[in-house]
Structure 1
């Protein structure tokens, strides 16, 4: 006779619920987490020793390994969010600077303009990044003839904004609506 039978003698139908949960687990109708949650409900808090034994059987010595996976996934998602937020900020700074330079070029058409006065190294690096392989040539062309290149850069920055906003929304949707396991009890 095992601990469950000794302790409950089938009061409240505990043994039947317990056996049904075990049967579902062995037939792969429940994942370990769902089975553990069901056992917690069946045994109540007064029988924590049985719950702990069941947890050990399901998850081993280290407990629920899914918790570590969830934590890693959460950290990964936060890293993605940070990266997108930084790119949105850099994009906005580069766009504002490009617009300011465009306005300055319209005011002083004949004057030679040093783009390093307007663009920071970070903004130039971001422009280089969004143009990928063409980045260096775009920066060179921007230095040589900003009037012809700035409209193209502004268009590229605007299209990049749409991509980043969509990515930002997708990440936040994943964060706010994670997949949840179904309840069994």
Structure 2
């Protein structure tokens, strides 16, 4: 399986989709001591300005994972992704059970900070762990591809940005 990174655009940082995205991240951070706050190193976004986040998607564009930060523009997201991919070897997988829902989600941290979270929840913890392991492996493959300077998944020089599906 191969994957790509894709931007998610929100009309404003205060848009309900952006707020829900970050509510899930805040919920994960609050329930897991030892994993730093998602906002470390991130300035608050202007509520009425557009916002951007990234997603890891499969070849058929099914969402596999979501980034745990929201940015003011694609440039800021691209810089963060480049740093994130350089740290791909330090990723740690965590599961996040929801007792009342009897389901389990997952998230990944690197050096004590949230990096990415699962796009869905699973009935079994082992399924969540497998999904997280797949996402980590795909990110590590993307990191290796980006370090070679090739267009992700095509093996030739990148015309624009090798990290983001245009």
Q: TM-score, normalised by structure 2?
A: 0.25
Q: If each structure's helix is expressed as a fraction of its own residues, which one has the higher value?
A: 1
- Which protein has the bigger strand share? 2
TM-score (norm 1): 0.23
Larger radius of gyration: 1
